[in-house]
Amino acid sequence: MEARLLKLLDEFNAGKSSFGPNCPYEKLDSIRNQQEELMRLHFEQDRKMMSILETGSTLARRPVRALLTDEGRKTTKANIDALVTRLESLSYAIHNLHYANRPRS
């Protein structure tokens, strides 16, 4: 077992693919980067929405009313559109990676 692990480590250090011939490290790295970008976008959008909520009215239902304003609706729609677009792109990349590594019959 130790010999196999050392061989795997040597192959990794040599830049060889350890996930199959159609799954090079660059593809995995690209998917990881897309995941991180999606996460950053989500948190940035959350920060923007909190800003809208904080500038809303001082009534007890301030958060709901702030979201129901034209600005709140536009921001929410833009946020969802951006997240869905990035998520579709990430999903497509993962699907292609999975499809490329399916065993051939």
Per-residue pLDDT of the chain (105 residues; tens, 9 = 90+): 788 878 877 877 776 655 566 667 788 889 999 999 999 999 998 888 787 777 655 544 556 666 677 877 888 898 899 999 999 999 999 888 877 666 665
Residue 105 CB-density burial (10 A; 0-12 exposed, 13-18 middle, 19+ buried): exposed
pLDDT at site 104 = 63
pLDDT at site 18 = 52
Spatial neighbors of 100 by CB under 8 A, at least 6 apart, are: 20, 22, 23
pLDDT at site 47 = 87
- CA 53 to chain CA mean position, Å: 25
pLDDT at site 84 = 95
> What is the Cα–Cα distance from 3 to 34, expressed in whole angstroms?
35
pLDDT at site 21 = 61
